[in-house]
Amino acid sequence: MAKQELKRDLKNRHVQLIAIGGTIGTGLFLGSGKAIQLAGPSILFSYLIIGIALFFVMRALGELLLSNAGYTSFTEFATEYVGPWAGFVTGWTYWFCWIMTAMADIIAVGVYMQYWFDIPQWIPALICLVILLGLNLLTVKLFGELEFWFAIIKVITIIALIVVGIILLIIGFNTNSGTVSLTNLWNHGGMFPNGISGFLLSLQLVVFSFVGVELVGVSAAETANPRKNIPSAINKIPVRILLFYVGALFVILCVNPWTQLDATSSPFVEVFALIGIPVAAGIINFVVLTSAASACNSGLFSTSRILYTLSRNGEAPAKLEKLNKQAVPSNALLTSTIVVSIGALLSKLIPEQAFTVVTTISAICFIWVWSIILISHIKYSKTRPDLRAKSTFKAPFTPFVNYAILGLFLFILIVMLFAEATRLSLLLTPIWFILLVILYNSRKKYS
């Protein structure tokens, strides 16, 4: 009996907006407040460094995916070039990454809804989760449409912020915090007000801001004309990083001195409220809410596709490979949704620590996934020079840039070991990998 296959129903506009949505999430809208408090204006350099590194990761991912039309995700080329253990560990780790991220985002949905409604945060969190599950069960095209419109909302908000900020900068607008000026970047302790240590400590939060950038790779199996659409989406990543991250934060830091921004709230909300735009806080709260829902939507999509791929490769229960009539891996989707719903429970048990613990573990696991992509690409370049020679989307500066970025990731992990807020999560995360290695070595082939 022939295996069921995913449908290639994601069009170019879906892929482009999934790529944008993947690089704009809760980490930027909410997490950037804490990152700014750690690094001050030098946060701009943090986003540039991590953004450039991940662009090269994505170029490596793009070349690998296009080298074999049969690849449905990066777990398959990890298996081929690094080994079956790498595909197994990376697949389950990526699933775990997005489960943790989706938990953080579903928690955030509940928190944001409390702006309008005085109800326990787990209620809107679960309602949102059920709605997203229902929509994702229908067709992959509907997932693409959801992400398209979620991303449009985020893009319009950031562009509006940048345009308004530039106008205020040109006219020298006065706010309660002073005059909107470029001098706000260095007049409050310089570009590195907390020294190099504050800058280094911000890197983990910046890494979390970029989780999801690799979603283009996960959607490859359901993308129409991947040879055209995937390179197009990847090559636009640098422009998006400059505009949506560096541009937006540059404007925020010019409008409001970094010392005036609250680490626990969204700097986007604070800036719009500061310049006196009517109902700004409510509008931005809605945008941040849709951003969290979008990230959770991406989480459900990616975790279900990873479970589907693991099942196809005999590394997860066979039932998870089943597709419904709309060619959606429904069992995998339901399984992931049930696990994500635990996030509502976490927010009740450890409300203060939940977000930091979840995002730190997620960032560490994403570093593993991105590293495996780079290592796979190094192996591919050495063992398959024939495919490399034929490639129409070669990753530049291979393998030197691969080693440089792997070194950067190792350095970030070392920094996290010395930071009190991230040390415990870093020390606990290896337990996950140990469990996976034990499971891999002891497992029987699923049928």
Q: Which two tokens stand for residue 259?
A: 């010392």
- For residue 174, the cross-strand partners are 179
Comparing 411 with 341, the larger pLDDT belongs to 411
Name the more confident of 93 and 120. Answer: 93
CA atoms of 388 and 363, how far apart (whole Å): 30
Residue 247 C-alpha from the chain's centroid: 19
- Tell me, rounded to whole angstroms, the distance of Cα 357 from its chain centroid: 16
Name the residue with higher pLDDT: 21 or 397: 397
Q: State mean pLDDT over 194-216.
A: 83
Residue 224 has pLDDT above 70, yes or no: no
Q: Are 304 and 338 in contact (CB under 8 A)?
A: no
Per-residue pLDDT tens for 69-113? Answer: 667 677 788 889 999 889 889 888 988 888 887 887 877 787 778
- The mean pLDDT value for 398-409 works out to 95
Answer positive or negative: Cα dihedral of 6, 11, 16, 22.
negative
Compute the mean pLDDT over every residue in the chain, rounded to the nearest whole number: 80
pLDDT score of 227: 76
Q: What is the pTM of this model?
A: 0.83
Residue 316 CA to residue 314 CA, distance in Å, equals 6
Q: Which two tokens stand for residue 414?
A: 């070392």
248-281: buried (b, 16+ CB within 10 Å) or exposed (e) per residue? bbbbbbbbbbbebbeeeebbbbbbbebbeeeebb
- Specify which residues 223 forms β-bridges with: 10
Tell me which residue of 248, 287, 300 sits closest to 151, measured CA to CA. 287
Looking at residue 447, what is its pLDDT?
A: 42
Q: What is the structure's pLDDT at 175?
A: 76
Cβ 257 vs Cβ 177: under 8 Å: yes
pLDDT tens for residues 308-351? 878 887 888 888 888 777 777 888 888 888 888 876 676 666 65
pLDDT greater than 50 at residue 2 = no
CB 422 within 8 A of CB 416: yes
Please check the confidence at residue 9 and state whether its pLDDT lies above 60. no
Q: Regarding predicted confidence, which is higher, 102 or 191?
A: 191
Greatest mean pLDDT among 25-29, 79-83, 135-139, 177-181 lies in 79-83
Give the CA count within 13 Å in the CB-facing half-sphere of 254.
22
Residue 213: what residue type?
V
The count of C-alpha atoms lying within 13 angstroms of the C-alpha of 360, restricted to the half-sphere facing its C-beta, is 23
Alpha-carbon separation of residue 276 from 97, 176, 270, 281, 295 (angstroms): 39, 10, 10, 10, 29
Q: What is the 3-state secondary structure (H, E, C) of the chain?
A: CCCCCCCCCECHHHHHHHHHHHCCCHHHHCHHHHHHHHHHHHHHHHHHHHHHHHHHHHHHHHHHHHCCCCCCCHHHHHHHHCCHHHHHHHHHHHHHHHHHHHHHHHHHHHHHHCCCCCCCCHHHHHHHHHHHHHHHHHCHHHHHHHHHHHHHHHHHHHHHHHHHHHHHHHHCCEECCEECCHHHHCCCCCCCCCHHHHHHHCHHHHHHHCCCCCHHHHHHHHECCHHHHHHHHHHCHHHHHHHHHHHHHHHHHHHCCHHHCCCCCCHHHHHHHHCCCCCHHHHHHHHHHHHHHHHHHHHHHHHHHHHHHHHHCCCCCHHHHCCCCCCCCHHHHHHHHHHHCHHHHHHHHCCCCHHHHHHHHHHHHHHHHHHHHHHHHHHHHHHCHHHHHHCCCCCCCCCHHHHHHHHHHHHHHHHHHHCHHHHHHHHHHHHHHHHHHHHHHHCCCCC
Average pLDDT over residues 62-74: 78
pLDDT confidence tier of residue 1, bands split at 50, 70 and 90: very low
CA-closest candidate to residue 347, choices 334, 333, 357, 335: 357
